[in-house]
């Protein structure tokens, strides 16, 4: 059954990815760029889903991971003159260390305490960016455009902000995240994470070291969020404290809940819908946040498991 | 220094500055400044008989978020300017159409808005951004899309060289120029020993650094630098750090805590306090005679454009005030409680006229003419005072894409701001630190 589910799931996701790949040739300029951004942000949401959707840990400080990857990559390129790839790796490595340290402290708590500790760490990180203004460029942030080299493919040079490079880079990131997610969720580790989400005490009684599994999920989630942040820095060239604000921690929660927490593809669906919902409604009224809020409330009432979660419950039992 | 002495020097300075401004005007005229001539509102020109589509100008507005107060007034000013420009024949005979998108005062959304305006609405230009972090987040995208981006931000980021060749700030002075211009007056008239109180982030650091540089230049001394975290809601514990030999407290607090800041400052010092000098950014949109602001009576503020009509009564400023719908006290004519962001919003009015000038002088017809238009703007040396530029004449640097202009110092009295000093344009000028013209288009 699990093998059959894996095959269905892979077909489904490969179908979506193929559609995304083909879309780049037909989308108008604005939507081409928007989908690029959605894919990077959705990668962040997929990373967040490791923790919320599969392990049952809700963090209110995940912007710290996204921003630490972004800032490490950006400041590494700016101060240490790293290449773009070097910056990306530096961002990933830095976030791995940050999330490991964070996890060792934060996972000593659980439930609401965990939520508060993550919020406090996130705010501390955000305020540190403002406090060390002369090093981080503080609230204004900075543009990497002048400091990024060019990407060389078959002896041809491209800017990282080139629309095609941006789209395909984002596509590769999202593809990798979705596939890694799927395989982890079908692996024994993934089943244990789900067991922790469903009943942590029983999982512990079965002999699993719950702390280490939760630490694994948090480090994976944090590091993947950091890589998404570093990628965002390279492709969109702006680095600023806004990405460390609490709003940017809340966003992946909303994207994940809307799309379906605990489903691999849900965060991507939620991110896309939310992006276009804001984009569309803001063109009609300046009270778009109110409208979006009401829509979200109604969604949660009628589809508490999110869009993909509801589809899984009713028709797509094999959806991971 | 007694209050009387201060007043007499203020008056003297005002006279000198008026002369110097006239002198600067003559110099500017003599050097062949690009003339935004005073436009006669009755001199209508017909649109080119249906042959030309409108010039679309994308307005990146702060309708929501922390900049919403400014955004509301920026939008009113922009619409008023567009209405007036269309009434006199549009730009190069083409009507202008303003397409507004809200960026939520968020750099993340700002870049998306620039993208949307450029690629979905297919505007000719994007303009109007105020908050510096939104400019920083949006300008790279404008540069990548190669669309001229005219900001109305005050930030030093344009002149610093941090942005790109497509980004201009032609009609509002930057914070470095503002501080440089008024600091001389401050040190020479209010006192030499100054304590700086500023928000602990970039905007505050600009004030800290440039006021310190100005102190060295004018023989003043910064006796304390007190940075206040942006999340602070109570300020009394910072006031004990103010040295006793302080002659002047220079404050630039912004945000919702500013009224608490002023009230607690008053409670701390009582009637015997050092001179107070602040930037009007703290009180944009706030009625100066609001309860709790009594302590500000007798204090001084920088203004870019005097809020009260009697402080700067020119043909251009009167016309502008009427067109935007602002009464003589700086509030909306339809709602006297709705106080404007008068020291900033003129930038939108003036920038639309700068775009008009750029289009008409460059012969811009479509996006393929961007290079010519940009080179034309870079060739501008300034703008004359008039209906198109009611705040005053400007000197423009093509290298830095930034203008310089006059500033005002006002004193709070009788529940209003009274102009007591006007700087010359030269007071705020500094050597260019970048040259955008060397960047490729």
User: What pLDDT shows up at residue A44?
Assistant: 97
The span from the CA of A212 to the CA of B156, in Å, is 49
Considering only CB atoms, which chain A residues are within 8 Å of B136?
140-143, 238, 240
ipTM of the complex: 0.84
**Helical (H) or strand (E) element with B43:** none
The span from the CA of A44 to the CA of B373, in Å, is 40
The span from the CA of A61 to the CA of A167, in Å, is 28
Nearest CA among B436, B393, B422 for reference residue B33 = B393
User: What pLDDT shows up at residue A133?
Assistant: 84
Closest chain B residue to A237, measured at CA: B140
- B146 at A interface, C-beta within 8 A: no
- B3-27+176-303 fold: Rossmann fold (3.40.50)
Closest chain A residue to B229, measured at CA: A131
Closest chain B residue to A134, measured at CA: B202
Nearest CA among B144, B145, B153 for reference residue B103 = B153
- B422 at A interface, C-beta within 8 A: no
- A110 at B interface, C-beta within 8 A: no
Helix, strand, or coil here: B396?
strand
The span from the CA of B71 to the CA of B104, in Å, is 10
Contacts of B46 (CB under 8 A, 6+ apart): B89, B93
The span from the CA of A212 to the CA of A218, in Å, is 10
- In CATH terms, is domain B55-173+314-405 a member of 3.40.50.2300? yes
- B227 at A interface, C-beta within 8 A: no
The residues of chain B that CATH labels 3.40.50.2300 are: 3-27+176-303, 55-173+314-405
Question: Residue A240: which of B136, B162, B163 has the nearest Cβ?
Answer: B136
The span from the CA of B278 to the CA of A308, in Å, is 55
Distance from CA of A165 to the nearest CA of B (A): 13
* DSSP β-bridge partners for residue B326: B332
Hey, what are B126's tokens?
A: 């994007």
Distance from CA of A61 to the nearest CA of B (A): 18
CA atoms in the 13 A half-sphere facing the CB of A187: 8
Alpha-carbon Rg for chain A, nearest whole angstrom, is 19
Closest chain A residue to B99, measured at CA: A283
Closest chain A residue to B104, measured at CA: A286
- B128 at A interface, C-beta within 8 A: no
Question: Residue B111: which of A138, A144, A238 has the nearest Cβ?
Answer: A238
Q: pLDDT, tens digit, for every residue of A139-149?
A: 889 989 889 88
Residue A284 — very low, low, confident or very high, per pLDDT cuts 50/70/90?
confident
Question: Residue B107: which of A34, A141, A288 has the nearest Cβ?
Answer: A141
Question: Residue A140: which of B119, B132, B143 has the nearest Cβ?
Answer: B132
Q: What is the pLDDT along chain B (441 residues), one digit of tens a residue?
A: 434 343 333 333 334 344 443 344 443 443 334 444 444 433 444 444 444 799 999 999 999 888 888 999 999 999 999 999 999 999 999 999 999 999 999 998 999 999 999 999 999 999 988 988 899 999 999 999 999 999 999 888 899 998 999 999 999 999 999 999 999 899 999 999 999 998 877 778 888 999 999 999 889 999 999 988 767 888 999 999 999 999 999 998 766 677 788 888 888 887 788 999 999 988 888 888 887 788 888 899 999 999 999 999 999 999 999 999 999 999 999 999 999 999 999 999 999 999 999 999 999 999 999 999 999 999 999 999 999 999 999 999 999 999 999 999 999 998 899 999 999 999 999 999 999 999 988
Distance from CA of B8 to the nearest CA of A (A): 41
The span from the CA of A114 to the CA of A31, in Å, is 38
Helix, strand, or coil here: B226?
strand
Residue tagged 């996006």 (tokens): B367
Considering only CB atoms, which chain B residues are within 8 Å of A140?
132-133, 136, 155, 157, 202
- Whether B156 and B433 have beta carbons less than 8 Å apart is answered as no
Best of A140, A271, A272, A280 to mutate (most B CBs within 10 Å, chain B): A140
State if pTM tops 0.95.
no
Residue tagged 């009507």 (tokens): B95
The CA distances from residue B21 to A243, B9, B187, B285, B317, in Å, are 45, 18, 20, 29, 17
DSSP annotation of B280 reads G
- C-alpha torsion angle, residues B111, B113, B114, B116 (rounded to 10): 120
Hey, what are B283's tokens?
A: 């009180």
- C-alpha torsion angle, residues A311, A312, A313, A315 (rounded to 10): 70
Hey, what are B130's tokens?
A: 């105020």
DSSP annotation of B333 reads S
Considering only CB atoms, which chain A residues are within 8 Å of B133?
139-141, 240-242
Hey, what are B166's tokens?
A: 């497509």
């Amino acid at each position: 059954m699990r093998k059959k589910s894996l095959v269905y799931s892979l077909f489904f996701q490969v179908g979506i990815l193929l559609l995304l790949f083909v879309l780049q040739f037909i989308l108008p300029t604005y939507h081409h760029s928007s989908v690029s951004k959605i894919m990077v942000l959705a990668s962040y949401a997929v990373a967040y889903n490791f923790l919320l959707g599969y392990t049952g840990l809700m963090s209110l400080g995940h912007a710290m991971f996204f921003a630490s990857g972004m800032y490490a990559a950006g400041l590494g390129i700016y101060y240490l003159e790293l290449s773009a790839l070097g910056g990306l790796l530096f961002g990933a490595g830095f976030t791995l260390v940050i999330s490991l340290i964070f996890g060792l402290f934060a996972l000593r708590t659980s439930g609401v305490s965990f939520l508060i500790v993550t919020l406090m760490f996130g705010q501390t990180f955000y305020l540190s960016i403002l406090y060390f203004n002369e090093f981080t460029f503080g609230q204004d942030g900075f543009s990497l455009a002048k400091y990024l080299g060019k990407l060389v493919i078959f002896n041809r040079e491209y800017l990282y902000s080139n629309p095609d490079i941006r789209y395909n880079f984002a596509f590769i990131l999202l593809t990798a995240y979705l596939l890694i997610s799927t395989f982890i969720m079908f692996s024994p580790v993934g089943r244990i994470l789900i067991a922790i989400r469903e009943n942590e005490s029983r999982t512990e009684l079965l002999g699993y070291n719950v702390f280490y599994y939760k630490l694994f999920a948090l480090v994976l989630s944090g590091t993947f969020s950091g890589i998404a942040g570093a990628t965002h820095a390279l492709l969109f060239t702006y680095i600023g404290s806004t990405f460390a604000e609490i709003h940017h921690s809340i966003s992946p929660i909303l994207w994940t809940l809307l799309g379906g927490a605990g489903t691999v593809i849900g965060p991507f669906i939620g991110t896309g819908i939310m992006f276009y919902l804001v984009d569309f409604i803001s063109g009609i009224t300046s009270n778009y946040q109110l409208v979006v809020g009401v829509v979200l409330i109604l969604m949660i009432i009628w589809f508490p498991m999110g869009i993909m979660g509801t589809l899984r419950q009713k028709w797509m039992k094999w959806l991971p | 220094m007694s209050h009387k002495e201060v007043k007499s020097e203020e008056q003297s300075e005002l006279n000198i500055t008026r002369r110097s401004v006239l002198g600067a005007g003559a110099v500017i005229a003599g050097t062949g400044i690009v003339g935004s001539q005073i436009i006669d509102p009755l001199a209508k020109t017909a649109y080119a008989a249906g042959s030309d589509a409108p010039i679309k100008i994308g307005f990146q507005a702060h309708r929501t978020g922390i900049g919403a107060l400014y955004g509301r007034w920026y939008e009113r000013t922009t619409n008023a300017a567009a209405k007036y420009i269309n009434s006199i024949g549009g730009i190069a005979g083409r009507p202008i159409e303003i397409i507004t998108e809200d960026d939520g005062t968020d750099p993340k959304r700002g870049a998306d808005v620039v993208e949307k305006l450029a690629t979905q609405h297919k505007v000719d230009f994007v303009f109007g951004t105020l908050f510096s972090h939104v400019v920083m987040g949006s300008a790279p995208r404008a540069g990548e899309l190669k669309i001229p981006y005219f900001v109305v931000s005050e930030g030093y980021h344009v002149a610093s060289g941090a942005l790109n060749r497509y980004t201009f700030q032609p009609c509002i002075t930057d914070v470095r120029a503002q501080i440089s211009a008024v600091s001389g007056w401050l040190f020479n008239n209010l006192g030499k020993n100054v304590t700086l109180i500023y928000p602990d982030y970039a905007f505050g650091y600009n004030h800290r650094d440039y006021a310190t540089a100005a102190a060295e230049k004018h023989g003043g001394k910064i006796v304390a630098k007190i940075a206040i975290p942006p999340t602070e809601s109570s300020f009394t514990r910072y006031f004990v750090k103010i040295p006793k030999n302080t002659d002047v407290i220079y404050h630039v607090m912004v945000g919702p805590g500013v009224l608490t800041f002023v009230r607690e400052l008053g409670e701390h010092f009582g009637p015997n306090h050092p001179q107070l000098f602040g930037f009007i950014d703290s009180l944009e949109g706030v009625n100066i005679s609001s309860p709790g602001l009594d302590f500000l009576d007798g204090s001084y503020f920088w203004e870019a454009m005097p809020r009260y009509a009697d402080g700067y009564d020119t043909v251009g400023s009167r016309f502008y005030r009427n067109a935007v719908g602002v009464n003589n006290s700086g509030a909306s004519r339809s709602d006297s409680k709705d106080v404007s962001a008068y020291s900033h919003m003129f930038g939108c009015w003036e920038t639309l006229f700068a775009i008009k000038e750029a289009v008409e002088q460059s012969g811009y017809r479509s996006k393929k003419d961007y290079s010519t238009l940009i080179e034309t703007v870079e060739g501008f040396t300034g703008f004359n005072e008039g209906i198109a530029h009611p705040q005053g004449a400007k000197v423009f640097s093509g290298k830095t894409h930034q203008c310089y202009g006059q500033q005002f110092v006002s004193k709070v009295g009788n529940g209003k701001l009274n102009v007591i000093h006007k700087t010359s344009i030269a007071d705020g000028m500094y050597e260019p630190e970048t040259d955008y013209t060397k960047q490729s288009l």
